[in-house]
């Protein structure tokens, strides 16, 4: 199958200007035998990247027989467990942090801690924690993207505001924005998950990344006073009318209009929103980005959903798989595949380079140098599915009816007691 893929995408590998020559020197020993890869990179741009990676790795190792199977991304979420058992491939795609948990606990992912310890994976220190469970590493990241606060720089200038570095400064800015007749923040919670981003940041800034992960693992009660403190900080924004009205009626895309029309000054969102802001007519002189401000004296954790490669514990060609993981995390490959005409996201290797895009550059610097607490994967990835679903319903309810907090936390605690048994 490798020869077919190699023939069919030879032109792609050439026109993409993959950095094969620069990388090949770091893998001087040619590989032989087989390498079976199952990937969920099924959308057109990611698929082209995956096929290009296979072509390039194959050119470096012409005696290696590579078989690539691409599975629909949504279908893979239900198929992966079966794929990891009998006749498992050698490399699979998945996600970082607690999303690895079920497969690590079931003994289905290979422990590759030695690759991190012996220097095979340089440049991954900032994201090593996202690959760590039970003190060991179970895969490698290949792309991620930042979350943070995107804001209308022209509105800030008009109101005499500067980027805040503390939550008190954030609230002071919000008061001035509300007084001007605008909302501080656009958000659309119709599909619930966006409220999770606000909880993630407020909890990581109030109680720290480690506490947030303990809550995600079910080790902390939702009725804990530290969780209540997170909601108390959140309520400061709600009570001053910081969010757009009726946000529960809008998707995140629909809510962007409040920001593009100038009715809201900022949006806590992922970098995937930037093309939409530009398409709506905003220029880069009108929009800017800053890291969610500090609340308590805790290291700054960040939401940066991370896509990963893993070696199944039942793989047959683990040495070849390890070489592929080393290849896809090299600085050169990371720079190439995350470019704007490919994945358009951020490389995870701190020695990589990013496209000349101010938001990618700011995000790369923030995640490489200023995510001192750790990298979270977002609420609906870090919490188990049933807990995440109930949690996001409760978070949206709190944003609309903050006086319901006691009932919300009691319900979430009931769910926790079932989910984590």
Strands (E) located in 88-160: 91-95, 132-133, 136-137, 140-144, 147-152
**Closest to 320 in 3D by CA, of 4, 27, 20, 16:** 27
What's residue 421's pLDDT?
84
Residue 36 lies in a domain: yes
d(CA 372, CA 369): 7
Report, in angstroms and rounded to the nearest whole number, the Rg of the chain calculated over CA atoms.
22
Three-class HEC string of 379-397? HHHHCCHHHHHHHHHHHHH
Q: Give yes or no: residues 280 and 342 share one domain.
A: no
Q: Are the beta carbons of 278 and 256 closer than 8 angstroms?
A: no
**Closest to 18 in 3D by CA, of 53, 63, 58:** 53
Q: Are the beta carbons of 86 and 69 closer than 8 angstroms?
A: no
| H/E stretch holding 360 | helix 358-365
Q: Are the beta carbons of 107 and 313 closer than 8 angstroms?
A: yes
Residue 103 lies in a domain: yes
Distance of CA 285 to the CA centre of its chain: 26
Model's pTM, two decimal places? 0.85
Residues of the chain with pLDDT under 50: 1-26
Structure tokens at 150: 């995107």
| H/E stretch holding 256 | helix 252-260
Q: Give yes or no: residues 265 and 326 share one domain.
A: no
Structure tokens at 24: 């090949």
- Which residue range is the domain that position 131 belongs to? 2-145+306-352
Work out the number of other CB atoms within 10 angstroms of the CB of residue 225: 8
d(CA 10, CA 16): 10
Residue 369 lies in a domain: no
Structure tokens at 399: 């944003």
Q: Give yes or no: residues 201 and 224 share one domain.
A: yes
Distance of CA 334 to the CA centre of its chain: 16
Work out the number of other CB atoms within 10 angstroms of the CB of residue 313: 18
Q: Are the beta carbons of 234 and 199 closer than 8 angstroms?
A: yes
What's residue 130's pLDDT?
87
Query: Which residues touch 224 (CB under 8 Å, ≥6 apart)?
Result: none
Q: Give yes or no: residues 141 and 155 share one domain.
A: no
What is the SS3 assignment for 116? helix
Distances (CA, A) of 333 to 28, 35, 116: 16, 19, 18
d(CA 84, CA 102): 12
52 — alpha (psi -120 to 50), left (phi > 0) or beta?
Answer: alpha
The separation between the first and the last C-alpha atoms of the chain, rounded to the nearest angstrom, is 44
Q: Give yes or no: residues 278 and 398 share one domain.
A: yes
- Residue 86, beta-bridge partner list: none
Structure tokens at 247: 């946000």
Q: Give yes or no: residues 400 and 282 share one domain.
A: yes
DSSP single-letter state for residue 370:
I
Q: Give yes or no: residues 184 and 173 share one domain.
A: yes
**Closest to 93 in 3D by CA, of 40, 35, 131, 145:** 40
What's residue 325's pLDDT?
98
Residue 366 lies in a domain: no
Q: Give yes or no: residues 170 and 271 share one domain.
A: yes
What's residue 215's pLDDT?
97
Q: Give yes or no: residues 33 and 104 share one domain.
A: yes
What's residue 98's pLDDT?
78
Torsion of CA 395, 399, 404, 405, to 10 degrees: 50
Dihedrals phi, psi of 57, to nearest 5 degrees: -65, -35
193-207 helix and 225-239 helix, angle to the nearest 10 degrees: 120
Q: Give yes or no: residues 108 and 219 share one domain.
A: no
d(CA 379, CA 342): 27
Q: Give yes or no: residues 182 and 247 share one domain.
A: yes
Residue 368 lies in a domain: no
Q: Give yes or no: residues 59 and 208 share one domain.
A: no
Distance of CA 388 to the CA centre of its chain: 16
Q: For residue 12, give the CATH number of its domain.
A: 3.40.190.10
Residue 346 lies in a domain: yes
Residue 363 lies in a domain: no
What's residue 28's pLDDT?
58
Q: Are the beta carbons of 41 and 49 closer than 8 angstroms?
A: yes
Dihedrals phi, psi of 137, to nearest 5 degrees: -105, 140
Domains held by the chain: number: 2
Residue 360 lies in a domain: no
Q: Are the beta carbons of 341 and 141 closer than 8 angstroms?
A: no
pLDDT tens-digit series, residues 9-40 = 333 343 333 433 334 334 558 899 999 999 99
């Amino acid at each position: 199958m490798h020869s077919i893929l190699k023939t069919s995408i030879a032109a792609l590998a050439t026109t993409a200007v993959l950095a094969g020559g620069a990388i090949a020197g770091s893998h001087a020993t040619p590989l032989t035998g087989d390498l079976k890869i199952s990937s969920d990179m099924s959308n057109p741009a990611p698929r082209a990247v995956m096929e290009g990676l296979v072509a390039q790795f194959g050119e470096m190792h012409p005696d290696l027989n590579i078989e690539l199977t691409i599975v629909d991304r949504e279908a893979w979420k239900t198929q992966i467990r079966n794929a990891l058992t009998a006749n498992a491939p050698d490399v699979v795609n998945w996600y970082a942090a607690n999303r690895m948990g079920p497969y690590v606990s079931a003994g289905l992912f290979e422990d590759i801690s030695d690759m991190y310890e012996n220097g095979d994976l340089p440049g991954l220190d900032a994201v090593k924690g996202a690959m760590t469970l039970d003190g060991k590493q179970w895969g490698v990241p290949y792309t991620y993207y930042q979350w943070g606060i995107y804001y209308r720089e022209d509105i800030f200038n008009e109101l005499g505001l500067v980027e805040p570095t503390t939550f008190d400064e954030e609230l002071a800015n919000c008061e001035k924005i509300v007084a001007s007749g605008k909302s501080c923040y656009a958000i659309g919670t119709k599909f619930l998950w966006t409220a999770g981003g606000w909880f993630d940041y407020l909890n990581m800034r109030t109680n720290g990344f480690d506490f947030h992960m303990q809550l995600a693992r079910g080790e902390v009660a939702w009725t804990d006073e530290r969780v209540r403190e997170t909601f108390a900080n959140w309520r400061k924004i709600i009570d001053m009318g910081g969010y757009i009205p009726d946000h529960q009626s809008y998707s995140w895309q629909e809510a962007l209009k409040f920001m593009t029309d100038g009715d809201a000054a900022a949006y806590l969102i992922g970098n995937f929103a930037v093309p939409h802001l530009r398409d709506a007519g905003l220029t880069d002189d009108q929009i800017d980005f800053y890291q969610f401000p500090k609340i308590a004296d805790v290291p700054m954790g960040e939401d940066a959903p991370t896509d990963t490669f893993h070696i199944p514990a039942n793989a047959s060609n683990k040495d070849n798989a390890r070489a592929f993981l080393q290849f896809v995390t090299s600085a050169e490959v990371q720079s190439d595949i995350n470019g704007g005409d490919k994945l358009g996201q951020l490389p995870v290797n701190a020695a990589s380079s990013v496209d000349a895009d101010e938001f990618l550059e700011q995000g790369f610097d923030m995640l490489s140098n200023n995510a001192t607490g750790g990298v979270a994967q977002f609420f609906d990835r870090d919490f188990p599915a049933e807990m995440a679903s109930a949690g996001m319903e409760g978070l949206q309810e709190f944003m609309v009816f903050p006086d319901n907090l006691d009932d919300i936390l009691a319900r979430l605690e009931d769910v926790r007691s079932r989910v984590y048994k």
